[in-house]
Amino acid sequence: MITTPPYLQPGDIIGIVCPAGAMPVEKVSECIRVLNEEWGFRTKVGSTVGKQYHYFSGTDEERLNDLQQMLDDDEVKAVLCARGGYGMTRIIDRISFKKFRQSPKWVIGFSDLTVFHAHLYSNYYISSFHAPMAGAFNDGCYTSIFVQSLRHALKGEKAKYHREGHEFNRKGEAIGELVGGNLSLLTHLIGTESDIKTRGRILFLEDVGEYLYNIDRMMRQLERAGKLSKLAGLVIGGFTEMKDTTQPFGQTAYEIIRDIVQDYDYPVCFGFPVSHDKENYTLKIGAGYKLKVGKSKVILEE
C-alpha cells in the first residue's frame, strides 16, 4: 500500500527550494506571503531561491544540499519546489531517502519534478503532489480553483475534479493508482532507476513547448516500452505551446495521441486540467483514483 505523508496543520512549516532552474526572489514572494498570511502555514526559504548559476539555481552540489536539508529537516512538513525547468535528473541519484523514508513529507511540484515524483513512487512507494508551484500564486491567481486545489490537498481533503467531455474521449470507468507527469521526462526515465510501472494504473500526461513530431516519437517510445498497453485508464492534460516544422507534421498533439492509443480498450480523457498553463489541478501521485469518462463529462476522484 502506498505511504501517505501526514497532512498539514495550521502553523506547520513548508520549505521552499529551487532544485532545478533559477527563479528570482520577487517571483516567489507572493507565494510566501499567501502561505503565511492566507493559508496559515509558516515558511522556510532555501538557499537556492533567488540564486543563479548559469541556467540553474546553483551548482549541482548546492541544489542537492538545499533539497536534502529540507527533506531531512524535522521541522519542515512539506517541501514546495518554486519552479521546474531542468536539473533534477542531475541530482536524483545522489539524494538520500534514508531519513525521508522514516518520516515522509509532501513534496510539491510538476514539470521537471516529474523525475522526483517518479523516483519516489517507483523506489519507495511514497505519495507526493504533482501540483502548482510558486509562480502560479502571482497576479492574484492564488485564488483560482487550481492553486486552491493544493491548499485542499495539503489539508487532506479528497479531490473530485470535473471536466467537460472532448470529442476524442473514449468512454468507460477505471480504478487504479495515479501516476504520470511530463511526457518528455517520463520518456527519458525509461530504463533508469526512476522508471515507473504503469500496468493497472491510471496514467496522466502533459507537455509544453515540444515539436509535434517529438510528441509522436515520445508516445511511440512509451508504447514500445509497454507503458500504454495495460493501463487502467489514460488522462491527457494540456499540450501547450506546441511547435511545428517547416514541413508540417500534419496532426495536432491530441490527434497524434488519439491514433496511438486507438486500439486499446481503456477509458481515455483528453483536455484534463493538468498542464504548464494556469489550469493545473493538484494530483496525488500513487493514490487510488476513480476515472469516469462519459459522453459529456469526465470525473476524476480519489
Per-residue pLDDT, 268: 98
pLDDT in tens, 116-132: 999 999 999 999 999 99
Residue 255 CA to residue 273 CA, distance in Å, equals 18
Pairing of strands 288-293, 172-182: antiparallel
pLDDT in tens, 274-291: 999 999 999 999 999 999
Per-residue pLDDT, 147: 98
Per-residue pLDDT, 125: 98
Per-residue pLDDT, 182: 98
Helix axes 253-260, 212-224, angle to 10 degrees: 20
Residue 257 CA to residue 279 CA, distance in Å, equals 20
CA distances from 193 to 86, 88, 112, 114, 205 (A): 18, 13, 16, 14, 20
User: Maximum distance among all alpha carbons in the chain?
Assistant: 56
Phi, psi for residue 29 in degrees, rounded to 5:
-60, -40
Residue appearing with cell numbers 470525473: 299
Characterise 98 by phi-psi region: left (phi > 0), alpha (psi -120 to 50), beta (else).
alpha
> Would you give the DSSP letter of residue 194?
T
Strand segments, DSSP code E, in the chain are 13-17, 42-45, 76-81, 106-109, 128-130, 160-164, 172-182, 202-208, 233-240, 268-270, 283-285, 288-293, 297-301
Residue 272 CA to residue 149 CA, distance in Å, equals 14
All structural domains of the chain, each given as residue ranges with its CATH number in brackets, are: 13-154 (3.40.50.10740), 160-301 (3.50.30.60)
The pLDDT tens digits along the chain (302 residues) read 899 999 999 999 999 999 999 999 999 999 999 999 999 999 999 999 999 999 999 999 999 999 999 999 999 999 999 999 999 999 999 999 999 999 999 999 999 999 999 999 999 999 999 999 999 999 999 999 999 999 999 999 999 999 999 999 999 999 999 999 999 999 999 999 999 999 999 999 999 999 999 999 999 999 999 999 999 999 999 999 999 999 999 999 999 999 999 999 999 999 999 999 999 999 999 999 999 999 899 999 99
Contacts of the segment 137-141: beta carbons below 8 A, 24+ positions apart: 137/30, 137/31, 137/34, 138/27, 138/30, 138/31, 141/278
